[in-house]
Each structure stands twice: as C-alpha cells, then as structure tokens.
C-alpha cells in the first residue's frame, strides 16, 4: 500500500507510523529522517536544505519534494510506503500526485489521526525530558516519575523543553490548521481519507488503523 499519514502534533504519528510500516512490510518515510539523512550524507539537496535552515528560513517545497522523490524511488519502496510529514501542504500533495502519476502509481489511503485539541496540548505540554539523557521521557499525568522533577532511570533533572510549552503547542496547532489540514479536504475529494481516533492505548490505535486500511484496500 501507498499511504500518507496525517494528524496534528501530539497525535502519535511517529509511533503509529513505525508500527503500521512494520505490520504492512513497507518502509516508513519520515520527513525528519529524510532531512537528517541528506544533510549527514551531504547530498546536493541536503546542502541546499541546510543553507536555508542555517539562515533560519523554511526549506522550499521543491527541495522537500526532491528528497521525497529520491527516497520513494529506492528499491525497498517499490511495493509501497508510508509517508509521515510529507506532503505538508496542498502544493506538496499536488506534486506527490504528479510524481506517482508519472510512475503509473497512485495513493491507496490517507490515514487521518484525530485527536481533540485539548488532548494534544495535554500530551505535549505535560512532557518532561531528562537533562542527562533526552531519551528518558516522562509525562506529568500519564507516566509521572516516582519523585517529581527527578528521572527514575538516572536521577537527572527533568525539565519542560521550550517547544513543549502550551503557548508553543498552540502555535504549532495553528500552523497545522492553516497549512496541513487543507490537504485532508484535498484528499477527501479523491475518496482517500480514512479518519480514526488516536485516543487510547498505542496498540488499540494501531488496530483501528489496520482495520480501516484493510477496508480501504478492499475492492469497492
């Protein structure tokens, strides 16, 4: 299957993408990973992206589209892929359609992870990260440390990252509503959107997603 995964910040896209890609035996193609890989390998697109990022500017659509195209043309993506973070706006969605059309392919589904805005704020703003090891992550409500402000694993200080503050989260949500949400309407017009609730346990959300995708894949 060829799938696009969409949803607001805090919807658990990265977690679900990893599980779904494994269950469907297709590569998980994340925009963040694409940028890091191209920059570390110093590809032409990576150098170009880095020049914009170093200047504090947004990377232009055509650079992001170029990286995605290169990745989708690799052999492991021949039987399908799961895109996470791309397309991010309607112009990127149109470019993706053209890319696939040129290869005689099309998308099978656009999986929309739905989470209430207040839950998104609660999920992200409640996150606390260890200063000694950023892989040690807790949540004030869902996974609180035994001692407030202290990492259970190494005893390091737990803190709230600047981009996890409620104000920043609400700004990120506004960007999502303005830039990314319109692609849902774009794909709805093509009959591709499958919306599921991203509330509950990770495995429950994955189960819902798999069922929804199987229905989408079944002959209409």
Q: Which residues of 49-74 are buried (b: 16+ CB within 10 A; e: fewer)?
A: beeeeeeeeebebebbbbbbeebbee
Measure CA 131 to chain center: 25
Residue 37 among known ligand-binding residues: no
Residue 161 among known ligand-binding residues: yes
Residue 15 among known ligand-binding residues: yes
Residue 137 among known ligand-binding residues: yes
* Residue 57 near residue 3, CB atoms below 8 Å: no
Residue 123 among known ligand-binding residues: no
Residue 12 among known ligand-binding residues: yes
**Mind telling me the catalytic residues?**
13, 88, 127, 161, 172
Burial class from Cβ neighbours inside 10 Å (0-12, 13-18, 19+) for residue 85 reads: buried
Angle between helices 90-102 and 61-72 (to 10 degrees): 30
Measure Cα distances from 72 to 18, 29, 93, 164 in Å.
17, 8, 14, 32
* Residue 199 near residue 119, CB atoms below 8 Å: yes
Residue 87 among known ligand-binding residues: yes
Residue 77 among known ligand-binding residues: no
Q: Which long-range contacts (CB under 8 A, 24 or more apart) does 74-77 make?
A: 74/27, 76/27, 77/26, 77/27, 77/29
Residue 31 among known ligand-binding residues: yes
Residue 144 among known ligand-binding residues: no
Residue 208 among known ligand-binding residues: no
Task: Pick out the residues of the known binding site for AMP.
Answer: 31, 36, 57-59, 85-88, 92, 161, 172
Task: Please give the annotated binding residues, written as ranges.
Answer: 10-15, 31, 36, 57-59, 85-88, 92, 127, 137-138, 161, 172, 200
Binding positions for ATP are 10-15, 127, 137-138, 200
């Amino acid at each position: 299957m060829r799938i696009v995964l969409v949803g607001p910040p805090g919807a658990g896209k990265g977690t679900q993408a990893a599980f779904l890609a494994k269950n469907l035996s297709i590569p998980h193609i994340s925009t963040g990973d694409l940028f890091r890989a191209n920059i570390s390998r110093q590809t032409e697109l990576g150098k170009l992206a880095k020049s914009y990022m170093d200047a504090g500017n947004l990377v232009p659509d055509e650079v992001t589209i170029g990286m995605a195209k290169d990745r989708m043309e690799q052999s492991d993506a021949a039987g399908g892929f799961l895109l996470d973070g791309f397309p991010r706006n309607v112009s990127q969605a149109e470019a993706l359609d053209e890319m696939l059309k040129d290869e005689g392919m099309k998308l099978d589904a656009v999986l929309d992870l739905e989470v209430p805005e207040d839950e998104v704020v609660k999920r992200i703003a409640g996150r606390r990260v260890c200063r000694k090891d950023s892989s040690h992550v807790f949540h004030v409500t869902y996974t609180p440390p035994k001692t407030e402000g202290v990492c259970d694993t190494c005893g390091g200080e737990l803190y709230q990252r600047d981009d996890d503050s409620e104000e920043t989260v609400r700004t990120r949500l506004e960007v999502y509503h303005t830039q990314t949400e319109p692609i849902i309407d774009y794909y709805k017009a093509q009959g591709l959107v499958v919306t599921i609730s991203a509330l509950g346990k990770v495995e429950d959300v994955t189960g819902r997603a798999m069922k929804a995708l199987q229905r989408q894949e079944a002959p209409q």
